[in-house]
Copies of this chain bind each other. A is one copy, B any other.
């Protein structure tokens, strides 16, 4: 994975937060997936619906993902860039996952991820995720 950074001191913490989140996805560890996420997170997920608002709706997007995903779960960063300010940051990434469609077809997806964060009481919190593939 290539990671580009500027000199902001918060970048390593945000990078580690995202890496831990992805490790939690691979472990199907819901506590780890949710621990740094805001109660009012806005999720634009790869499949529908158009949007999911709030941590309960966000959690349900993973209930959709895991039955589709291969086991062990592939959910890996190919590239990540952290754009960190003093109190707001966003992350852009290219990722990979693999799973099986209802048709039985096994697919490997390269997808785009944008994450929005805010620092609250000294701790970075994920307030937004946007996952997608290009429309065909």
**A: which residues have CB within 8 A of B?**
42, 44-51, 81, 83-90, 92, 94, 110, 112, 114, 116, 118, 127-128, 130, 132-135
**A86 contacts across to B, CB distance below 8 A:** 85-88
Q: Decide: A92 near B116, CB < 8 A? Known: A49-B134, A86-B86, A128-B83.
A: yes
CB of A44 within 8 A of CB of B116, answer no
Partner of A90, one of B94, B116, B135: B116
Q: Which of B44, B92, B110, B118 contacts A112 (CB 8 A)?
A: B44
Q: A84 to chain B: closest CB distance in Å?
A: 7
**Is the CB–CB distance between B49 and A116 below 8 Å?**
no
Given A85-B87, A86-B85, A90-B88: A114 and B130 interface contact (C-beta under 8 Å)? yes
Q: Which residues of B contact A42 (CB under 8 A)?
A: 81, 92
A85 x B88 contact (CB < 8 A): yes
Chain B residues, CB < 8 A from A94: 50-51
